[in-house]
Amino acid sequence: MADTVRNRADLLALFGDNTTGDCTPQRLRDGIVSILGVAAQLYATGASTGQTMGTSPTTLDWGMTGGADGLEDNANADKANDKIAIGTYGAGWYLALLTLSFSGTASTTFTIKLAVGGTPAGAVTCKAKLDAAGSVLNVAASGIVNLADGDNVTVQVTADGATKTFTLEEGGLTLRRIR
């Protein structure tokens, strides 16, 4: 039988107090893969194509910027659609780690937020202003987000004005279930 990732409530019900000997080897394996097995990452290296940003949130295009799907387990890293999709039984609290090196339109302030289903997840956000030369800037944000089965997680960027260029040079988004 395949090992099955389960949510916290299902695991607590499976293990119970074992007075009837219900803690089978399969249930123990399910517990292990549930605790250790939900993570995904998107990353970009050596990117050079700029993306136009404005005052409305725009989803960061990982595919356009030389992105790649990283390691994944019960969550689908999908650079073609610029998201990480949480799989069945993947619901829970996640540690989100976002690191970006970018350049772009000089003297522009960019706000970068993690979004779940298109709605910003307030726990993971940062804001940075490029210098007068538009030189490469490095930012990082982290936080804990509560995700449900089937949630789509993206990175959204806004600029302090219309038609600003945001060029992702290097970066990554990692999600790791912690509860």
CA–CA distance, 73 with 92 (Å, rounded to integer): 14
Tell me the two tokens of residue 40. Answer: 């995904």
pLDDT above 90 for 140: yes
Only one residue has tokens 């290097």, namely 170
pLDDT above 80 for 148: yes
CATH 2.40.50.100 fits 38-177, yes or no: no
Q: How far apart are the first and last CA of the chain?
A: 25
pLDDT in the model for residue 18: 65
Only one residue has tokens 């940003």, namely 53
pLDDT in the model for residue 85: 92
pLDDT above 60 for 151: yes
pLDDT in the model for residue 142: 95
Q: Beta strand 92-104 with 75-78: parallel, antiparallel or unpaired?
A: unpaired
Tell me the two tokens of residue 59. Answer: 């989803």
- CATH 2.60.120.40 residue window(s) in the chain: 38-177
Tell me the two tokens of residue 48. Answer: 């050079």
Summarised one tens digit per residue, pLDDT across range 50-95 is 899 999 999 998 876 566 666 666 678 888 889 999 987 788 889 9
Residue 32: band (very low, low, confident or very high) from pLDDT cuts 50, 70, 90: low
